Structure 1
């Protein structure tokens, strides 16, 4: 946003101190505020001007009385007392009222006004609402020197009351340098009238509100808050653009398109990643293979033990179970077991299982710590099966 436009919007957004003339202000003699205390600026970018503290305002009041002499300060309509003398403008210089007395107060300089009957009726009818002062000031410092007059108007330049309208409108049909700068900042052509300027300012104010909302702020957010939020968003967007492989000034839609494209085309590297379904299947296959291998080894070890006379044929299933559970324990058992005789190696047929255990069976019980009665019960169940 150009500096001139920023200054203009800043002036337009100053908190309102405007002296609004209510219908009751037109009755008889009323005190109205002419200029505020301290430093102030105009909507059109003029100023800043200053009235200083109360002591300084007392000096302004004294200067004004000296300037006016024995005459009262006039309040006219729309500054016609000023413009009536401008060639090509014309107008009348009727008085709307007279400032009978001035007073310096803590919040500004006030005047006691005696309204004319016509002005009183116009104010009561709502035809005029604001009071606009005209004052002399030091051009280098902006210090107010004296109050010249005031005018009834509906387009005040100050948020309090307006400075001389001659500082806002063309003189001799020429626009001043300050006004040209304001028009250029607003993107308007030279010579644009007040209505065009006001419309442009309102448009920028509306845009400012929209920007505040878009930045996640309220409509009442101050200019510096909006600026900080927007700067933060711009910084974040630059980071997103860089991450997407774009330039910092890439448009938002370009950033979104680049990010969506990257997400859509993203595929895992098959050299680094395997589908979970394949991993699970492979694990199951390994387990089955392990079962098969240990089963084959168990069968081989048990058959070898039976062949070497280290294990009775009747204990084959037991030997297989022991090997599959703990191969080392099976090897320890067969390694220390005595070689069985031919009768001991004979596998009993169905119904041949006697009540007493053979020497080989008792040896097995002793080696494995099995109770003889448990061995008998096991053999009986096997014979029955």
Structure 2
């Protein structure tokens, strides 16, 4: 056996068997069933070969990666009595019908599992107890470290005494899966994909809740609950300010700003009038301009010619009943300000008021 397998595969090859039960067969409507192919850690065969080893989760992931690289797009075959290695000889021929196909590999806490889709004939043979054991064929290095899976076969001559592990692990796993499904609010017959999706959804929700509670996404549920309970009914004064105080502060700032703008406008306009840069009749106009655009008022005052003493003292009242008549002083102010008659009369009327 050893000599023949070494001519088919590079390196060293071994095969061990594990017991099958009805739990290895898919439930009604399911396309396949997960079964253990290799245990985790160190193990040996009944014939004394070994020890072989799969070193933890990292080791199982390495086996999965190496197996996928060798198989490419092809599924791993599960045959009868390792006929793929012994009955079908390259260059010679021989039959090696498939009992099933390994569609996917998965690393779990107790070992390496494969999702097997059985043929109808193989499923019937397992139910009839014509075959009781699954025997994975794997390549290993000289130290016994498992490198990759090559195939698996149905057999009745087990080499690795894992019957108790396989027989007890499958029902317990089934029970555990049902318990997990129930805890997630799923039906007991939920498949692994549905369970994994639900778990991922819970983990995503926990991460969002943790972030809202000011905790890292990796925070444990108990830590999240503690943070929420401690914050219930309490507000961190270093992070939050009551809306009433914010509104009052904004109103106070607006009032203060208006007061400052009014005082600045009053000072600037009075200075312009004192310096003869602005006619007293245009004080209100000057105040409005300064409040809206201080820079524009300053530019105007700086560019205005200085009024005469007569112009600063005031203007001669117009003839009664004739608001549209302008005095010589009015005309001088209009000329200084560059205003039209209508604009000047409007400004003057506002100032007199």
Same fold by TM (over 0.5)? no
Q: More relative contact order in 1 or in 2 (CA 8 Å, sep 6+)?
A: 2
For the pair shown, which has the larger CA radius of gyration, 1 or 2?
1
Q: TM-score if structure 2 supplies the norm length?
A: 0.41
Q: Give me the TM-score of the superposition, normalised by structure 1.
A: 0.38
